[in-house]
Amino acid sequence: MIFGAEFPPLSHIVNWPEFVGGDTFGINKVVLVYFFAVAVTMLIFILGNKQQLVPTGMQNFAEMSVEFIDNQISLPTMGTEGLKWSPYFLSLFFYILFANIFEIVPIIQMPATARIALPMFLALLTYVLYHGSGFREHGPIGYLKHALVPPGVPIGILPLVVVIEFISKFIVQPFSHTVRLFANLLAGHILLVTFAVLSSALWIAQWNVIFLPLPVVAVIFFVAFEILVSFLQAYVFTLLAGVYIGAAVSHEH
């Protein structure tokens, strides 16, 4: 307890009571964020699906978004073959972005990605896609050789390298893909809660009011910072999806 501020336990920061249903399949604030993120993502491209020769408004934003994904993710990671993956990357990027950005939306103030279930699901979905694409592209034996046997490795250490590559690509990759998104958003959420509680406590403790601007400025700074983090983490997660898929289907080692 600092300046009379009682900081909530972690379980109260990320767990929310259900509005409808029971503890297992109920709808709570996090589930609402899932729905909102899907709805806003769909709405952007439904409203932007126009055929105006000179795009304006939502059509302009939608076309700029497609160009961003093509030029920053699909083409750099997979070349022209990556353009067929752009719809997936586009959906993934915007869904994660909106799931993140609800952290700063008043009343909701909860990033859905601060619960590990969503990052894990998206990472496992991408995991299935890139390994599935690799098996389809190279065949079962060919893909395992492509994924596990780097060229030029001396035969004496090849068994060790194969084990390391297997652990890295089939076990560690989905785990790291999950944790990178989850940990960054959870840390940011905890920071915002911490400084918000501290600001509230200093406001109540009038003799400490001289210190109030410090946590208030910190809250404003971290809100702006979390907007940047929300964008960057959506971009990094999607970029890694492109890198993994590109590596799985590539014919160059």
Q: What is the pLDDT of residues 132-160, one digit of tens each?
A: 999 999 999 999 999 898 888 888 888 89
Query: Which residue do the tokens 């600092």 mark?
Result: 2
| Phi-psi sector, 126: left (phi>0), alpha (psi -120 to 50), beta | alpha
Helix (H) or strand (E) run with residue 129 in it: helix 117-138
At residue 2, the pLDDT reads 47
How far is residue 239's CA from residue 35's CA, in Å, rounded to a whole number?
24
| Residues 40-80: tens digit of each pLDDT | 999 998 888 777 766 667 888 888 999 999 999 999 999 99
CA 135/CA 146 separation, integer angstroms: 10
Q: What is the b/e burial string over 228-247, where b = at least 16 CB atoms within 10 angstroms of the residue's CB?
A: ebbeebbbebbbbbbebbbb
Q: How many angstroms separate the CA atoms of 32 and 26, rounded?
A: 11
Question: pTM of the entire structure?
Answer: 0.85
Contacts of 110 (CB under 8 A, 6+ apart): 14, 16, 29, 30, 33, 102, 103, 189
